[in-house]
Amino acid sequence: MLFRIQHTFAFKFLIVEKMITVKRTDSNNQDFRKLVKELDVDLGIYYKGEKSFYNKLNTISPIKHVVVAYDENDIPVGCGGIKEFSKNEVEIKRMFVPTAYRGNGIATIVLKALEKWSLELGFTKCILETLKEKPYAIAFYEKNNYQKFPNFGEYVKAENSICFKKELK
């Protein structure tokens, strides 16, 4: 008989008098999958003729390290994941907060939770990709001390992509 144990860990933060709980999980989490479907619809607007290129890079299986943020009513309001990219680097994947919940600091909570988990796993750098046509995403990462650097991996070919990195401390 096989048993599957899902290990979770939660953080609590107070934001605008609302409690946000961050759950550690993996890409099999149904709330994560639901949020990623919303993300894919959102990104489809930007991909235009590059949809097939980005779709192959945006798979969610397997992402072993995923966080899902929940509001005080246990509604999933944000997500993100990390995947090992190299011995010292993780790539942040599938960061998303639905439009209705943006502007409340949820993305920052998700990002900080991913950075903390990355450090606990022994990584020293986070890297990520976003789209040039998403100035709010670019501003968010810059506000969180991410620095632009040359496109990496498959994104070297992606003219619509911009990549960021951050040394973790």
**5 assigned to some structural domain:** no
Domain count, the chain: 1
State what percent of residues in the chain have pLDDT above 90: 66
What span, in angstroms and rounded, lies between the C-alpha atoms of 160 and 167?
24
Q: How confident is the model at residue 73 (pLDDT cuts 50, 70, 90)?
A: very high
**2 assigned to some structural domain:** no
**4 assigned to some structural domain:** no
**95 assigned to some structural domain:** yes
**125 assigned to some structural domain:** yes
**76 assigned to some structural domain:** yes
Q: Read out DSSP for 62-109?
A: T-SEEEEEE-TT--EEEEEEEEE-SSSEEEEEEEE--GGGTTSSHHHH
**29 assigned to some structural domain:** yes
Mean pLDDT of 138-144: 97
The answer to whether 70 and 76 are in contact (CB under 8 A) is: yes
Domain that holds residue 136: 10-167
Q: How confident is the model at residue 159 (pLDDT cuts 50, 70, 90)?
A: confident
Q: What is the pLDDT of residue 14?
A: 47
Q: What is the pLDDT of residue 62?
A: 84
What span, in angstroms and rounded, lies between the C-alpha atoms of 20 and 94?
19
Tally the C-alpha atoms within 13 A of residue 48's C-alpha that lie toward its C-beta: 7
Beta strands 125-131 and 76-84, pairing class: unpaired
**1 assigned to some structural domain:** no
> Position 155: which residue type?
Y
- Please state the φ and ψ torsions of residue 159, each to the nearest 5 degrees: -70, -25
CATH at 162: 3.40.630.30
